[in-house]
Amino acid sequence: MSLFAKKSLDKLLADAAGGEKGLKRTLGAGSLVALGIGAIIGAGLFVRTAAAAGQAAGPAVTISFIIAAIGCAFAGLCYAEFAAMIPVAGSAYAYSYVTMGELIAWIIGWALIMEYALGAATVSIAWSEYLNKLLGGQIPYEWCHSPFESYTDSLGVLHKGMINAPALIILLLLTMLLIRGTQESAFVNAIIVFVKVAIVLLFIAIGWQFINPANHTPYMIPEGTAAVTDSAGKVIADYSPFNKHGWGGVLGGAAIVFFAFIGFDAVSTAAQEAKNPKRDMPIGILGSLVVCTLLYILFGHVLTGVANWKEFADPEKGREASVAYTISTYMTGYGWLAQAVTIAILAGFSSVILVMLMGQSRVFYTMSNDGLIPKVFGELHPRFSTPYKANWILFIFVGLFAAFVPGHTAGDLTSFGTLFAFVLVSIGILILRIKSPNIERPFRTPFAPVVSILGAVICLAMIVVLDAQTLKVAFAWMALGLVIYFLYSKKHSKLRNPSDIVTKASDFEKQ
């Protein structure tokens, strides 16, 4: 059988039905929009905005958001068509299985680990950083940083990280909530979303009156801008490369803030748990994307207007506490807002981790049912009907990454995994329109050829401008995935070995 053998759409929909043994359909349109917002607004907004401004785009980070949003919108329209047409767990993995075959499906499923699992690890690391800020730095450096991080204090004492314990704790708590049930998780997420959106709106409204127009001039980083150095003379931001100034910097900034849009596609992983997926999935995917894009543009405009973008070149200001730093330094009389923002960020990060973990467990669930990974990933809790064993395994994997790997490394790999998924989903719509034009499509991507091609091209362009080290690690990860496919998945694929399914079913009937 060909490596590109495809699963039939009828078979996929039959598997999705699941009966009483499958995932429960408990989510409405409102819950799906909240899931999208819960996953989108988090580390990307509060951490990556300042990082992109200080490292590449300057005040034009707002344009970076628009470019990233356009690429996401094209991909989002394609996701919406697939999710309404094929309402199953598994997201881009399941869509690729129908359109491009098993090998491509495996590749995208393996890449999704970089999006969801490493995304959860990245945000849990940011959660740990903000918790320490809220507590005034009382958590010892050794217990909230990876072994690959270190710093020398004012007394000349070297501190080296050992383990990021707070990141592990939040991952454990949210894993337990996910095992308890999807509806319960969605309810907690909705509360968190309400709180953090309210705080974002409050920052925008109050911060607007503190904008200094001079901070927006020039709007893009000019070519020839001098590098930024720390007190020891070490270069912490170099603006000479093409993707660090001008329009190149804006595109480079788009690649950085693209991480901020991860989440709307996670809604598609819950398609098998939506009450009315044909109607609600497009609303959940596109609705959350529109709301968050508007908030991002306004947020970036205010943040770079209140504080100068060069200040965010310093990782201590631009990565770990950009919003709190801006409020406490420039927004006199609003110290309470800095504290409230930090609390809201902690809550917001929690909802992002929650949705990322849920998305990855559903991808594992679907891949396991196809036989491409061990069946333990597809086993449902006898009471809660959640893939609880997949959740525990995921906790171990994500926990190890969060505890021992620096956050920026995981964040860049997450962007690669997401962009790669978006490229294949956009291409998948084109393939299915040509090969299966008569399939019922409750939602149709408008101007499909143009939208699909632009979605693939823009997302591919943002992959190209990622740094070389990230691309090397990403391709090494993909190579590892191919090794696993040929050593294990190909041999256990249910599509390739239908006789195994028949044999097992016969054995079950005899019992």
Rounded Cα distance between 67 and 75, Å, is: 13
**Number of other CB atoms surrounding residue 144 within 10 Å:** 23
Query: Looking at the chain, how many residues does it have?
Result: 511
Rounded Cα distance between 295 and 292, Å, is: 5
For the chain, what are the domain ranges? 9-217+251-497
DSSP string covering 408-458 = HHHHHHHHHHHHHHHHHHHHHHHHHHHH-TTS--SS--TTHHHHHHHHHHH
Local confidence pLDDT in tens for the 511 residues of the chain = 677 788 777 777 666 555 445 667 777 888 888 888 887 887 567 777 888 888 888 899 999 999 888 878 888 888 888 888 877 777 788 888 888 889 988 998 898 888 788 888 888 888 888 788 778 888 888 888 778 777 776 677 777 878 889 999 999 999 999 898 777 888 888 888 888 888 889 999 999 999 999 999 889 888 888 777 766 677 777 788 887 888 888 888 887 787 677 777 778 777 777 888 888 888 888 898 889 899 999 999 999 999 988 888 876 554 556 787 888 889 888 888 888 887 777 888 888 888 889 888 888 988 998 899 999 998 888 888 888 999 999 999 899 888 887 666 666 677 788 888 888 889 988 888 888 888 888 888 888 889 999 888 888 887 887 778 888 888 898 999 999 999 999 999 988 877 554 444 333 333 3
CATH annotation of 9-217+251-497 = 1.20.1740.10
Residue written as tokens 């799906």?
Answer: 32
